[in-house]
Structure 1
Amino acid sequence: MILAGIYIHIPFCRQKCHYCNFHFAVSQRNKSLLIDAILLEIDLSKDYLDNRSIQTLYFGGGTPSLLKPSELESILQKIHSVYRIETGAEITLEANPDDIQPGYLNDLKELGINRLSLGVQSFDDDILQLLNRSHNAKDAIRSIQNIVDAGFDDFSIDLIFGMPGSDVDSWKKQLDQALEFPVPHFSFYNLTVEKRTALNHLVKTKQVILPEEEIMARQFSFTHSYMAEKGYEHYEISNYALPGRYARHNTAYWKGEPYLGIGPSAHSFNGISRQWNIANNGRYINSIQQGFLPFESEWLTPEDHYNEYLLTRMRTMWGCELDDIRNMGNVFERHFLNNIAPYLGDGRVIAQEGNFSLSLQGMLFADAITSGLFFHE
């Protein structure tokens, strides 16, 4: 039987990062009401996953580490009362470095949280200030040491490349700082300028100058080779792990396994449909209090299934299997083979025994390649 995952969105942050366009609020005035609504939604959504056992839980945000241990405990107890949680399930909490203190870590372990995703982003204080992060470099280093000392052997660190004024050498210093610790997993993201963010304004008004695309491409390529030297597998465009230490929750996303999203703006997928909760805390709370799930949904067509398979699998080292596409129908197989030929010819896609995956050069053009393979009627 296919297992499933649960994502819980905690939409609160201490302050607004200049690059972030996720759904969150800096006011925690309604935090207790929202947690009560999350507990009710877990009950209201219990049939969505069709009685599947749960293999991963993921607290994302926002900043889930702003929750007190007692608040996390209430959510975990509710999930355990409604769902069958597999023995050895991966339970992840996203955290900011300034929240990671020894006592808090001990509380997390007692609650059964066994994996942390730490939003370091940079070890450069000037960059952290530019991004309006709430921690500094010393906080970041101290938090990683606290995680190691607390006995968490499963954790991930987020870092951002493509920072203003950066080059390959300065990026290598960021990697080396992180690699001083026994980190089993990394997520590396290119600094992206999103609409309606402070960073977008700073770039548009030329108060911030981003590196040329060629420099960011060099940083990306250097990361691939340097992390391989250090024993890490580049298993998804933005993710590296020691062998066998992949993020199970996100890997399930990329492999098309079902998941339930709880909380405002959270998305869900059960194999035949996709739904997403309203991205407004007040309206979310009011709807749940009245016994209604505040979501929109769409049924997935065969074309949607094909396109989503490409969108997720082409990002990973596992790539796309021709047998999987063939099982979707002859029309998709013909379309795929016809449209992937140019990328095979220029080396951006590698074919091996019916498997198709991006080369390192192809990863730099992942979005364009994938959209070029999409099926449109």
Structure 2
Amino acid sequence: MAGCYIHIPFCAQKCSYCDFHFSTNHTYQSEMVDMLCKEIEIRAKDWKQEQFETIYFGGGTPSVLTTPQLDQLISRVKENYQLSNSVEITMECNPDDCSLENLSNWKELGVNRLSIGIQSFNDEQLKWMNRSHQAADSLNAVRNAKEVGFDELSLDLMYGLPNMTLEEWKEQLLQIIALNPEHISAYCLTVEQKTALSKWVKEGKLVVSNNDQQSEQFELLVSTLKEAGYEQYEISNFARNGHYSKHNTSYWKGATYLGIGPSAHGYNQVERYWNQSNNRTYLTELKKGHLPETVETLTPFDRFNENLMIGLRTKWGVSKQSLFESISPDKEWFQIVKDYEDKKLVLQTEEQILLTPAGRLLADAIASDLFIIDTSTALSVL
């Protein structure tokens, strides 16, 4: 199973909390699409053996593309790669882009899953976020998507927002449940460097939630969605009746994936590559026929730690067989696992290591404690 990720590096405006790679200058959008197509063609020779189960348009904001531009990209992938008969084609979109006309066009091109960035139903929150939509747009977007016939809808929400009370978060959750999507993603607000939010926090203009408040909101998220029939299959992702994101699940299970576009990452089980996070450099290099990439060969330690980090985030946990193919841990490592097990934060079976609900609150810290460092490299660096 392989996936194809295509990064669209354009947005209508910059959200105050976002540090993803994008531009609000759309004057060269057509040129960028042409070069994305060129990268798709260049990389094809190394991926002929793969059958792609998923295509995912992320960003940025893929819904800023025109219908012909989206058609150009999907057609180029189909021309150059083997696709599953049941390929999942996901597009991230802003609510204000989800007109009946756009949605109908996307569906006709083969897009069969939408990830709609609602983030909040509170217009005051959306305003300081500098989102391009209002709460009413989110309701219209979902209604329009269902009218057009999109059966697979994923809606995004954020918690840990400034001044958000537990009661307000509960109200947000009830609103999103009432829309009855198959999938919900909920992310905690993080203050990233070099963002407007970071500046405001430093200046004392906004106060974000503390760790205790974030934990309370996370626990309410899990319990409320569980009661509404949503399964938490990854720390931030919830689905009804097995409507998981096939694309993101492939990441979490360590599958191969192709990355197209500036800042995109790719992985082929042996090497990882990432493209330049600069639109002009990306365009210039591809015009010369060069891939604007940096390539890294993964060590057994890299594979072990990455497998551990992403696997622990899911309901499936991490496979011991897969994990120990990279490295055989020492007794001290197994004792750390046992200590977490005694604290009811980790659960072990013969095949898997999983986090308990309490452990999911500390997923990053637990994974970090279980990382194995290549001491020979560390010593040589010192």
What TM-score, normalized to structure 2?
0.96
Using the TM superposition, give the Cα deviation of residue 129 of structure 1 relative to its aligned residue in structure 2, in angstroms: 0.3
Unpaired stretches in structure 1, ≥5 consecutive residues: none
2:366 — aligned with what? 369
1:147 — aligned with what? 145
The question of whether the paired residues in 1 share the 8 Å contact of 2:173 and 2:224 is answered with no
3-state DSSP of counterpart to 1:179: helix
Task: Tell which deviates more after alignment, 167-176 or 56-65.
Answer: 167-176
2: distance between equivalents of 1:335 and 1:265? 38
2:342 — aligned with what? 345
1:188 — aligned with what? 186
Using the TM superposition, give the Cα deviation of residue 335 of structure 1 relative to its aligned residue in structure 2, in angstroms: 5.7
2: distance between equivalents of 1:322 and 1:83? 33
Using the TM superposition, give the Cα deviation of residue 74 of structure 1 relative to its aligned residue in structure 2, in angstroms: 0.4
1: distance between equivalents of 2:106 and 2:288? 32
Q: Quick one: which of 16, 20, 23 aligns to 2:21? A: 23
Counterpart mapping for 1:1-377 below 5 A: 3-329=1-327, 331-332=328-329, 334=331, 336-376=333-373, 377=375
Q: 1:224 to 1:333 in 2, by over 3 A?
A: farther
3-state DSSP of counterpart to 2:232: strand
The question of whether the paired residues in 1 share the 8 Å contact of 2:304 and 2:324 is answered with no
2: distance between equivalents of 1:164 and 1:9? 29
Name the amino acid aligned to 2:13: Q
The question of whether the paired residues in 2 share the 8 Å contact of 1:49 and 1:270 is answered with no
The question of whether the paired residues in 2 share the 8 Å contact of 1:326 and 1:333 is answered with no
2: distance between equivalents of 1:173 and 1:325? 41
2:379 — aligned with what? none
2: distance between equivalents of 1:257 and 1:314? 15
2: distance between equivalents of 1:333 and 1:241? 37
Count of residue correspondences? 374
Unpaired stretches in structure 2, ≥5 consecutive residues: 376-382
Using the TM superposition, give the Cα deviation of residue 163 of structure 1 relative to its aligned residue in structure 2, in angstroms: 0.9
2: distance between equivalents of 1:12 and 1:238? 25
3-state DSSP of counterpart to 1:356: strand
Superposed CA offset, 1:134-163 (max 9, x none): 100111111111111111110100100011
2:380 — aligned with what? none
3-state DSSP of counterpart to 1:353: coil
The question of whether the paired residues in 2 share the 8 Å contact of 1:49 and 1:259 is answered with no
The question of whether the paired residues in 1 share the 8 Å contact of 2:95 and 2:133 is answered with yes
Name the amino acid aligned to 2:53: Q
Superposed CA offset, 1:280-307 (max 9, x none): 1111001001000000010001111100
**RMSD over equivalenced CA pairs, Å:** 1.1
2:378 — aligned with what? none
Percent identical pairs in the alignment equals: 41
2: distance between equivalents of 1:203 and 1:328? 42
The question of whether the paired residues in 1 share the 8 Å contact of 2:47 and 2:81 is answered with no
Using the TM superposition, give the Cα deviation of residue 236 of structure 1 relative to its aligned residue in structure 2, in angstroms: 0.4
The question of whether the paired residues in 1 share the 8 Å contact of 2:48 and 2:81 is answered with no
3-state DSSP of counterpart to 1:208: coil
1: distance between equivalents of 2:79 and 2:251? 24
Using the TM superposition, give the Cα deviation of residue 322 of structure 1 relative to its aligned residue in structure 2, in angstroms: 2.1
What TM-score, normalized to structure 1?
0.97
3-state DSSP of counterpart to 1:371: helix
Task: Tell which deviates more after alignment, 173-182 or 198-207.
Answer: 173-182
The question of whether the paired residues in 2 share the 8 Å contact of 1:48 and 1:260 is answered with no
Using the TM superposition, give the Cα deviation of residue 354 of structure 1 relative to its aligned residue in structure 2, in angstroms: 3.4
Using the TM superposition, give the Cα deviation of residue 323 of structure 1 relative to its aligned residue in structure 2, in angstroms: 2.4
Q: 1:333 to 1:229 in 2, by over 3 A?
A: farther
Using the TM superposition, give the Cα deviation of residue 182 of structure 1 relative to its aligned residue in structure 2, in angstroms: 2.2
Using the TM superposition, give the Cα deviation of residue 45 of structure 1 relative to its aligned residue in structure 2, in angstroms: 0.7
Superposed CA offset, 1:344-364 (max 9, x none): 121111223332111122111
The question of whether the paired residues in 1 share the 8 Å contact of 2:301 and 2:326 is answered with no
2: distance between equivalents of 1:157 and 1:334? 43
2: distance between equivalents of 1:272 and 1:188? 32
The question of whether the paired residues in 1 share the 8 Å contact of 2:91 and 2:113 is answered with yes
Name the amino acid aligned to 2:45: D
3-state DSSP of counterpart to 1:298: strand
3-state DSSP of counterpart to 1:45: helix
